[in-house]
Amino acid sequence: MKDYYGWRARIGLIYPAACCVMEPELYAMAPEGVSIHTARLTLAEATMSGLSNMMADDGLERAAGLLAQAPLHAITFGGTSASFLEGIGYDRSVCERIATLAPGVPSSTTSTAALRALRAVGAKSVSFVGPYLKDITERGRIFFDANGFDVTGAHAMEISSNSGLEELPLERVYAFARERAEPRADAVFISCTGIRTVGAITSLEQDLGVPVVSANQATFWDALRLSGVRDRVQGFGSLFEHDLPD
C-alpha cells in the first residue's frame, strides 16, 4: 500500500463552480489509489448564453494552468453541453485549449468521453436524455448525430438553474430515462454532469436491456483509461467492462 493519495492515478477535473454533484459521483466509482483534483469555472445558469459565456473567456485556460501545477495523469473538462455546444469537433478544440496549458498530460471532455464510451459499448443508435432546455437538447442531438450515431430521440427535462440540477432526485432521472428510451435504441446516453446518475445505471441496464452511459460515468471511465487504470469497476454499468476504442 502506498502512503500518498493518487498513487495509481491523479485525475484533474475542470468543473462549473456552482455545481456539487460530479465529485461525489466520481469518488463513488474510484478504485483504490485514484484521486480527483478540481479547478472551477463560473457558470451563471445552464442556458445557451450561460454556457457560451463560461467557455468564451480564459477561465478554462486558467483552470488548466492551475491543475497543471500538480503531477496529474489526465485532465478532463466535466461539462457535457458546454463541450458539444458548437457542434462536431468543438469537444476536440476544448481538449486542445487544455493541452496548451498542460502539455504532455492527456486531456479530454465529457462529450469526448461520451463518444468513446458509446463506441466502446458498440452503440449505433442512441436515445439522448438530458435535463436541459430544449435548445440545448437539440444541440446535443446534432452533436451525436454528426459524430455518426443515429439519435432515436432527444428528450429534455427543461431545467436551467444550477440548484434545479443539483436537487433533481435520482429516482426522477431513472424514471425519465426509462420512460423516454426508444425501443429501437441500442444504448441510452444520460447527459449532464450536474445531475446524479451513477446510482441508477445498473437498474436502467437491467430494465432496458441495453447499455446505459451517463455523463459522469463516461467522464470517469475515460479519465481512468487515459491514466492507465483498467479496473472493471463493479456496480456502475457495463461500460467499465471495456477499454478505450481504437
The residue ranges of every structural domain in the chain are 9-111+217-237, 113-214
**E strand map for the chain:** 9-16, 34-41, 74-77, 107-109, 125-130, 150-156, 187-190, 212-214
User: Could you report the per-residue pLDDT of 123-176, keeping only the tens digit for each?
Assistant: 999 999 999 999 999 999 999 999 999 999 999 999 988 889 999 999 999 999
List the alpha helices (DSSP H) in 121-214.
Answer: 134-146, 162-166, 170-180, 201-208
User: Could you report the per-residue pLDDT of 186-236, keeping only the tens digit for each?
Assistant: 999 999 999 999 999 999 999 999 999 999 999 999 999 999 999 999 999
**E strand map for 49-149:** 74-77, 107-109, 125-130
| pTM recorded for the entire structure | 0.96
User: Could you report the per-residue pLDDT of 40-68, keeping only the tens digit for each?
Assistant: 999 888 888 999 999 988 999 999 999 99
Q: Could you say which of 3.40.50.12500, 1.10.1740.10, 1.10.357.10, 3.90.1150.10 is the CATH number of the domain covering 9-111+217-237?
A: 3.40.50.12500
Q: Amino acid letter at 116? A: R
Helix (H) or strand (E) holding 87: none
Query: Are the C-beta atoms of 203 and 120 separated by less than 8 Å?
Result: no
How far apart are the C-alpha atoms of 173 and 193, rounded to whole Å? 13
Domains 9-111+217-237 and 113-214 share a fold: yes
